[in-house]
Chains A and B, each alone.
Chain A
Amino acid sequence: MASGHRHILVVEDDQETAGQLVDSLTASGYEVNLAANGSDALTLGLSSDYAVITIDRMLPDIDGITVMRSLREEGIVTPVLIISALGEIDERVRGLRAGGDDYLTKPFSFVELVARVEALARRSDTVIKETVLHAGDLELDLVSRTASRHGRNIGLLPREFQLLEYLVRNEGRVVSRAMLLQHVWDLHFDPTTNIIDVYVGRVRRKVDGTQAYPLIHTVRGVGYCLRAPD
């Protein structure tokens, strides 16, 4: 991660939410600027270089998506996380997410917000083309699509491998169920059942079942985190 580039612009008109956003991002080590309306957001967004910009979909003056478009037209390529209270069915958010940047629907957990901001911030850094990923004694061969722990091969289905790869790439960071659905299955809705937990449970049995220490950890109420002991 490019150090010194942990500057974030938060665009949010609700004071309470804005305060919580600033607090949780500051606690994660980001430097945060706050804009309470669309025109401030444009001024700030154009004047300095941010790692990530989070924009509320509904602002008192200019629509959040219009703010994003205007920034893009001015040549600002900073990743934008759109926060919408309209729900995942909000058509324009659907259009937006197809455009590549991320979205989050209110209400959300701050752990999830930070996780998504982290993911976007990393995206603006250099992309490393590895062929093998490591986490503790887990090794993922991205070419042959095989996983092993301690040299012992783990039999995984293609989708299971993808899930594990996503967890490993986000090692040490919390990944929500919605993020898993989004990145592993390309689905954009909150599952109403516990199916992701069941699926991760099976992957976990295969990966951690007979090992010395577990790698996949449950983060209560949010999702999962892959973490190797130091």
Chain B
Amino acid sequence: MHLTETLRSSTFRLALIAIGLFGAIVLTLFSYVYLSTASYVRSRSDGTISAEQMNLQKAYDRAGRAGLKAIIEQRISDEHFQDSFYLLTDSSRSFVAGNLKMWPADLGSSEGWQNFRAPGLANRPMLRAELKTFPNGDHLLVGRSIDDLDAFAGNIKAAFVWGIALIFALAGVASVLVTRRTVGRIEAINTASRAIMQSDLDQRIPLRGTNDEWDRVAENLNSMLDRIETLMQEVKQVTDNVAHDLRTPLARMRGQLEKAYHRRRDGEEDQALIGDTIVNIDGVLRIFSSITRIAQIEAKAQKVAFRTVNIAEITSEIVELYDAAAEEKGAHLHFVGDQRMCVTGDRDLIFDAVGNLVDNAIKHGRPDGNVTVEVAASGDGGAIISVADDGPGIPAAEHQNVFKRFYRLERSRQTAGNGLGLSLVAAVARLHGAHIEMLDNRPGLRFRLLFPPNLFPLSNTDARAPRGAEQNYIKPDALREDKTLRT
């Protein structure tokens, strides 16, 4: 990865902002500590000088110039006072006593505080001194070397400056490294994504096995890719099947029409052909509308028509409607369960879905078998519709496939039906938040639709809303805001 890329990355910019903020705080803190330490040390030193100056003045007042001279000489010889500097001169600034041999030349005044380089001494140390002129014109200078103090303050300052510089340098390096790592991971994901977009969906984003958040991102992206791949395969399968299911009747129609076109006109035969063609076209249209219907249900375009419906009533109506079909096959269709069991949903869709399950059960069950439709409460306050037959059932391995669009157990696709029924059931179940289960009925197959608890359990709205009442089509959202609307 290039440095410019690193510098451009948002992670790096964030790191810079953090470093800047942190640095400003540290700088302020250190400056404060430095300034207060320096002024404290200086004031201590100044205090010592003042006190000594005071002492010497008192000695002068008491014992005059000779007394002071004696004290100064005693101080100079005392090693406790080796940091101190003294100079007593007469009014013409001629040396009287002290360890400074001459009055410093560059002083403007001879009163108050002065900083100057000591004249006539090796190294010419920097001194800070308090000057005093006595009434008779004698001058007294009491001072201390401040080279040590300056060195001390300088040390602190240097430590701070280096410390801050080091912090900045380390933080800078750290943020470059972190940024590189982050940008590197993102770039790895980007590269893999680009490859996937450009060529094949089988590629996956590599994991590092660190189980960190980046691995989790990669895992999620990979499972998204899995899902996309499955969907793509399904779409391909569906397209193939649609092509088959639509092409077959269309080819048949085309053949018949072509033959008729070349034949002599014959009223009766033509009439029959046109009739056949209409029936075939209707079949094709029905497949079309089934596909779009499932697509629209899956796109959740339908929830507007949701309201409280009595699935027990719907189910018994279905049983009554399909009883004729069961009778035709010699099978027995039973309804078991309560007379009232409410869920939130769309009556048409539930009717269509459960009707499909019953239709399947009759078609695929034994010719003289039993089909049982049951409505019951589920443990969590929801409702269950179960449709069971005692026919040959479906091998467990095929269970997941039956919900796929156009899926049919017989590969030859010869029997009636378009293989869309169960995918419609699955779409309707999904829209209703219902769970669909397929169980072995030993013998036979049992489908269970598990509906979630009714959204409006207090509602006493009947499954059948009064006709001509458009306001009954209320969006569930609106209802959630005002549940009293229906009670």
Contact = CB atoms under 8 A, between A and B. Distances in A.
Interface of A: 87-89, 91, 94-96, 98-100, 105, 107, 109, 157, 159, 185-193, 195, 198-199, 201-202, 220-221
B293 A88 contact: yes
Dominant SS at the B interface?
Answer: helix
A95 B468 contact: no
Contacts of B356: 192-193
A195 B321 contact: yes
A190 B352 CA distance: 9
A159 B352 CA distance: 18
A189 B424 CA distance: 13
Interface residues of B, number: 44
Interface string B255-291: 0000000000000000000010011001001100110
A194 B275 CA distance: 18
B82 to A, nearest CB: 102
Interface string B421-444: 100100000000000000000000
B328 interface: yes
Interface stretch (B223-231, B296-304, B391-399): B296-304
Contacts of B421: 192
User: Chain A CB within 10 Å — which of B278, B279, B289, B324 has the most?
Assistant: B324
B304 A199 contact: no
A94 B282 CA distance: 23
A157 B320 CA distance: 9
B464 A186 contact: yes
Interface of B: 275, 278-279, 282, 285-286, 289-290, 292-293, 296-297, 301-302, 304-305, 317, 320-322, 324-325, 327-328, 347-348, 351-352, 355-356, 359, 417-418, 420-421, 424, 464-465, 467-470, 472-473
B289 A98 contact: no
A192 B357 CA distance: 12
Given A190-B286, A199-B321, A95 B304 contact: yes
A2 B399 CA distance: 59
A87 B279 contact: no
A87 B464 contact: no
B359 A91 contact: no
A40 to B, nearest CB: 27
B477 to A, nearest CB: 14
B467 A100 contact: yes
B301 A195 contact: no
A185 to B, nearest CB: 7
A192 B297 contact: no
14 contacts: A88-B293, A89-B301, A95-B470, A95-B473, A96-B470, A98-B468, A109-B278, A159-B320, A185-B317, A185-B321, A187-B352, A192-B421, A195-B325, A199-B325
Nearest to A202: B324
Given A186-B464, A220-B279, A221-B279, A191 B302 contact: no
B416 to A, nearest CB: 8
A165 B93 CA distance: 141
A105 B292 CA distance: 13
B327 to A, nearest CB: 7
A87 to B, nearest CB: 5
A91 B279 CA distance: 28
Dominant SS at the A interface?
Answer: loop
A195 B317 contact: no
B301 A189 contact: no
A87 B304 contact: no
Contacts of A199: 321, 324-325
A202 B301 contact: no
Given A192-B418, A192-B420, A198-B324, A221 B278 contact: yes
A189 B294 CA distance: 12
A187 B348 contact: yes
B472 A159 contact: no
Given A89-B297, A95-B473, A188 B348 contact: yes
User: Chain B CB within 10 Å — which of A89, A95, A100, A202 has the most?
Assistant: A89
A89 B296 contact: yes
User: Chain A CB within 10 Å — which of B285, B424, B464 has the most?
Assistant: B285
A109 B424 CA distance: 25
Nearest to B278: A221
Contact of A159 (B282, B290, B317): B317
B324 A201 contact: yes
Contact of B322 (A87, A96, A186, A195): A195
A98 B348 contact: no
Nearest to A200: B324
Contacts of A185: 317, 321, 351
A89 B293 contact: yes
A95 B302 CA distance: 11
Contacts of A95: 304, 470, 473
Contact of B468 (A99, A157, A188, A189): A99
B229 to A, nearest CB: 29
Contacts of A191: 352, 355
A87 B296 CA distance: 10
B270 to A, nearest CB: 14
Contact of B275 (A96, A100, A192, A221): A221
